[in-house]
Amino acid sequence: MDNENKNNNNVPKDLLVPLERKEDTSDKISRPSRTFMQDARRTFFKNKLAMICVFILIIISVMSVVGPGMNDYGLDDQDLSRAKMPPHVPVLENISWLGFDGTLTDEFKGKDIEEATKNAVARYGNDADFIDIKELDKGDGSAKSAEVQATYHIYEAKDMGDQYFWLGTDTLGRDQWTRLWLGTRVSLIIALVAAAIDLVIGVAYGGVSAFYGGRVDNVMQRILEVLVGIPNLVVILLMILVLQPGILSIIIALTITGWIGMARIVRGEILKLKSQEFVLAARTLGTSNGKIISRHLVPNISGIIIINTMFTIPSAIFFEAFLSFIGLGLVPPEASLGTLINTGFENLRLYPYLLVFPAVLISVIMITFNLIGDGLRDAFDPKMHK
Amino acid sequence: MFRYILRRILYMAVTLFIIATVSFFLMKMLPGSPLKAEDKLSEEQREIVLEKYGLNDPVPVQYVRYIGGLVKGDLGISFTFDNTPVTKILMDRIGPSAQLGAQALLIGTFLGILLGLIAAISHNGALDYTSTILAVLGTSIPSFVFAGLLQRYLAVEWELFPVALWGTFEHTILPTVALMIFPMATAARFTRTEMIEVMGSNFITTARAKGVSEYGIIFKHGLRNALIPLVTVMGPMAVSLMTGTLVIEKIFAVPGIGEQFVTSVMVNDYPTIMGTTLLFAFLFVLIILVIDLLYVLIDPRIRLTGGES
C-alpha cells in the first residue's frame, strides 16, 4: 500500500525537472463532495448481490399484489371435485420434467407387475384409462419386489383438460397460486407493520432515554433490563394464546418485545452522539430539544436504524410462519406462508407440490432480506466506501 | 464479581416473577376449565373436580398458592393427559429435548467453527464463497422447511433414516441436523469475520516473524482469540434451539417438551402451556446469565457494569 513512498534511487537525471510555480491547489476539492448518505447509496447500488435481491424482492412484492388477480380463483373457492390437482401450466405442460403437466406420478410396489399396477390404480381412484404404467422392476414374485411407475392424468380424468391451476389445488380444491400470493401478502404485511412499529417505539424509547439521561434514563434502563430477560418466544406465545388469532394479534405479539433491541441500539448511539461538538453547537445556538433530536441526532443514526429494521423483517416473517406452523397463527381460510407450509406438511407424502412452493418462497424472501441487510450494513460502514 | 452475580440473579428472579404473574392472570382470563361440556356431571361431581384443581378459591388465594407452588417446583395439574402434575409431564419429556438440544448445539457449533475457519483461511477463495453461501442459507431458511426436506428425501424417499419417532440413536440424527443448521451457520459467519480480523492484527505478524508454524498461528494465536466473541452469539443460538424444538419435535414426532407444548396448545391445556412457557423462560434467563458470566471470565477487558447481553 505504501509503494508510492518507497524511495527509488535509480531515477534518470533527465526526469528531474524543476517544478513550475503554481497556485497551491492542494486544498481545492477536485471532485464534488458527497455526503455520507450519497456514499452509502453508491456503495449499496454497486453491491450486485444486494441489487439482485432488491430486484427479486420487488418482483415478489408486486406479485403479492397482482398475483391473486391473475386468475379467476378466489382465496376460499372450495370445490372438492377439483381437490388436490397437481400444477398445470399452459405451454410448460408440454415439458414433462418441469412438473407442470398436470399429472401425478408415483412408484408402486407389489409382488408382481400386475399387483403393483393394481395398487397404483386403486390409489388413483380406479381410473385405469387415464393411468400410464411404466414397468421399473419385474420382481421375483416375493412381496414388494416388483415396481411400477404410474402417471395419472388427473385433468383428463376429471375432464378439466382446459383448466389450468398453475400451482395446483389444495385439499379443499382451492387454487394454490391465489393462496400462495395472498399468503405472501399477509406475511409481508405482518412483517412490515411489525418492523415499522418496532422502529417507532424503539427509536422513541431509546432516544428519550439517552437524550434526557439522568434519572429518566436510569428508570427506563431498569425497565428494559427486566424486559430484555423475557424471551420473546414466551411473550409471543402468551400473547397469541390470549388474543384472538389473526393478523392483528400476531403483529401485537411480535411488537410487544420486538422494539427492545432497537431501543438499546438507539440509546447507545445517541449517548455517543449527544456529547459531540455539533450537538453542543446546536444547543448553544438555542435549538430546541425536539429539533436537535429530529435534525441532528436521528439522521446520524439512520443507518443503524435501517440496518436493524432490515433484520427485523425476516425474523418477523419467520415468527409468523412459525406460529402458524404450530397452530397458533392465522385461522383458515386465511392464508399465510406459515399456514400454507403447515398444510404442505400434512400432504407431503402424496402431494409434495403443496409444500414446495410456499417453502421455496419463504426461503427466498428470508435470504433476500438478509442479503439486503448485509448489503446495507456494508453500505453504511465508512470503511467499505470506495 | 460476587456482587455482580448477585445482582444478576436478582434481576433473573424479578423477570421470572413477572413472567409467572403475567402468565397466571392471563391463564385466568382465558376460557376453559378441566371440565368439559360433554361430561355429564352432577353438581357434587363438579364440586369435587373444581376442588381438586383449587378453582373454588378466590383468585388472589389461587395466585398465592400458584406462586408458592412455583417456588417448590410445582406447576399445577394438567387439565388433560390423565390429570398428571405438569412438573411430572415436563420431567418425563425433558430427556429427548435436552439430548437433541445438546447434540445440535455441540455438533453445530463445532462444525460452524470449522466452516468459518476454512472460509477465513481461504479468504476470498472458492471455499470461502461456498461456506459463506452455506452460512447465508443456514441463517435464512426456516428450520422447519429444512426439516421437511430432510424428512422427505433422506427418510421417506431414500429410507436412510427413520422417518419419525424416538428410540435408537438413528432417530436423533435427522432432528439434530435440522436443529443444528442455525447454530452452525451463525458460528460459521461469526468465526469467519472474527478470524479474518484477528489474522490481520499485529500479534499474528509478530508470531509469524518469530517463526511460529502456520498450524500454531492459526490454532494457538488466531482461533483462540477469534472464539472469544463467539460467546455473545450463544444467546440467539439458544433461543433458536428452543424455537426449533417446538417445530422440529412436532415434525419428527419426538416425545419432547416442544411436541408436548404443541399438543397442549391444540387441546387448550392451560396449566401445561404455562408450565412449559415458564420452563422456557427459566432456561432462557439462565442461559443468558451463564453467557454473561462466561464472557466476563474469558475476557478480562469486559467491565462488570450493567447487564449487557
Question: In terms of CA atoms, which chain A residue is nearest residue B156?
Answer: A349
In A, minimum Cα distance to B262 occurs at A326
3-state SS class at B77:
strand
Q: Is the dihedral of CA B227, B233, B239, B245 positive or negative?
A: negative
Q: Which of residues 214-273 of B touch A (CB under 8 A)?
A: 239, 242-243, 246-247, 250-251, 261-262, 265-266, 273
Q: Provide the whole-model pTM.
A: 0.78
Q: What span, in angstroms and rounded, lies between the C-alpha atoms of A55 and A47? A: 12
Express each pLDDT in B194-237 by its tens digit. Answer: 888 888 888 888 888 888 888 888 888 888 888 777 877 777 78
What is the residue-averaged pLDDT of chain B?
Answer: 78
pLDDT of residue B308: 40
Q: Does A129 or A207 have the greater pLDDT score?
A: A207
Question: Over 90: is that where the pLDDT of A197 sits?
Answer: yes
Residue B130 C-alpha, separation from nearest chain A C-alpha, in angstroms: 15
Instruction: Report d(CA B197, CA B209) in Å as an integer.
Output: 18
CB contact under 8 A, A238 and B251: no
What are the phi and psi torsion angles at A142 (to 5°)? -80, 165
> For B83-94, what is the mean pLDDT?
79
Chain B residues 186-205 with CB within 8 Å of chain A? none
Query: How many CB atoms are located within 10 Å of the residue B188 CB?
Result: 29
Please give the domain boundaries of chain B with CATH numbers for all domains.
92-258 (1.10.3720.10)
Q: Positive or negative, the Cα torsion across A172, A178, A184, A185?
A: negative
Closest CA to B293 of B214, B224, B235, B220: B235
Interface ipTM: 0.76
Segment B187-192 shows an average pLDDT of 87
Q: Give mean pLDDT, residues B234-241.
A: 77
Least confident of A12-16, A62-66, A146-150, B92-96: A146-150
Which of A17-26, A287-296, B13-22, B211-220 is predicted with the least confidence, judged by mean pLDDT?
A17-26
B284 and A231 within 8 Å at the Cβ level: the answer is yes
Q: List pLDDT tens digits, range B45-78.
A: 777 777 766 666 777 888 888 888 777 777 777 7
pLDDT band at A201 (very low <50, low <70, confident <90, very high): very high
Mapping DSSP onto H, E and C, the string for chain A reads: CCHHHCCCCCCCHHHCCCCCCCCCCCCCCCCCCCCHHHHHHHHHHHCHHHHHHHHHHHHHHHHHHHHHHHCCCCCCCCCHHHCCCCCECCCHHHCHHHCCECEEEEEEEECCHHHHHHHHHHHCCCCHHHEEEEEEECCCCCCCCEEEEEEEEHHHHCCCCCCCCCCCECCCCCEHHHHHHHHHHHHHHHHHHHHHHHHHHHHHHHHHHHHHCHHHHHHHHHHHHHHHCCCHHHHHHHHHHHCCCCHHHHHHHHHHHHHHHHHHHHHHHHHHHHCCHHHHHHHHCCCCHHHHHHHHHHHHHHHHHHHHHHHHHHHHHHHHHHHHHCCCCCCCCCCCHHHHHHHHHHCCCCCCHHHHHHHHHHHHHHHHHHHHHHHHHHHCCHHHCC
Report the side by side order of strands in the sheet with A103-110. A103-110, A146-153, A131-137
Rounded to an integer, the average pLDDT of B136-155 is 81
Kindly state the average pLDDT of the residues A242-257: 82
Estimate to the nearest angstrom the gap between the alpha carbon of A182 and the chain centroid. 15
Tally of CB atoms within 10 A around B13: 11
Quick check: B142 contacting A, CB < 8 Å?
yes
A1 has pLDDT over 60:
no
- Say if residues B105 and B245 touch (Cβ distance below 8 Å): no
3-state helix, strand and coil shares in percent for chain B, rounded to the nearest 5? 75, 0, 25
Question: Longest C-alpha distance within chain A, in Å?
Answer: 103
Do residues B85 and B77 touch, judged by C-beta distance below 8 A? yes
Residues 6+ apart with CB under 8 A from A380: A40, A303, A304, A306, A307
- The 10s digit of each residue's pLDDT in B281-298 is 888 888 878 877 777 777
Collapsing DSSP states into helix, strand and coil, what is residue B252? coil
Q: What is the pLDDT of residues B242-252, one digit of tens each?
A: 777 888 888 88
The predicted pLDDT at position A261 comes to 84
pLDDT reading at B305 higher than 60: no
Distant-in-sequence, close-in-space partners of A141: CB < 8 Å, separation ≥ 6: A111, A112
CA torsion B276-B280-B285-B291 (nearest 10°) is: 150
- List pLDDT tens digits, range B155-187: 767 766 676 667 676 677 788 888 888 888 888
Contacts of A193 (CB under 8 A, 6+ apart): A251
pLDDT at residue B301 greater than cutoff 90? no
**Among partner residues A221, A348, A362, which is closest to B152 by beta-carbon distance?**
A348
Which pLDDT does position A264 carry in this prediction? 86
Q: What is the pLDDT of residue B306?
A: 45
- Cβ of A228 within 8 Å of Cβ of B307? The answer is yes
* Percent of chain B with pLDDT strictly greater than 90: 0
Which of B19, B29, B141 shows the shortest C-beta gap to A234?
A: B19
